């Protein structure tokens, strides 16, 4: 299990397009991926659940990766955030 915090750095926060990219990436891994600020964390493979987090720029989200390929999933999601969801800023 990997437990990490990731800060939303893109200007628009975790909006619909970013949430869709995150859920699509999360769904490409067989492990469980949960995210949020407080318990209960939400399923990061669900666009609607991610949207309900209402995570604006600067929000710190806790992610828990558990299961097969958790390390690869962790790296990929950290990279997605670090590259501003391929949106430039």
- For the annotated catalytic residues, the residue numbers are 15
10 touches 57 (CB < 8 A): yes
Residues 6 or more apart from 83 whose CB is under 8 A from it? none
| Burial class of residue 23 (count of CB atoms within 10 Å of its CB; 0-12, 13-18, 19+) | buried
Distance from C-alpha of 13 to C-alpha of 68, rounded to nearest angstrom: 29
């Amino acid at each position: 299990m990997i437990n990490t915090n990731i800060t939303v750095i893109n200007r628009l926060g975790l909006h619909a397009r970013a949430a869709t990219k995150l859920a699509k990436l999360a769904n490409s891994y067989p492990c469980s991926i949960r995210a949020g600020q407080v318990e209960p964390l939400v399923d990061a493979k669900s666009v609607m659940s991610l949207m309900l987090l209402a995570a604006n720029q600067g929000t710190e989200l806790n992610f828990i990766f558990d299961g097969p390929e958790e390390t690869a999933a962790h790296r990929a999601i950290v990279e997605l955030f670090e590259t501003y969801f391929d949106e430039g800023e």
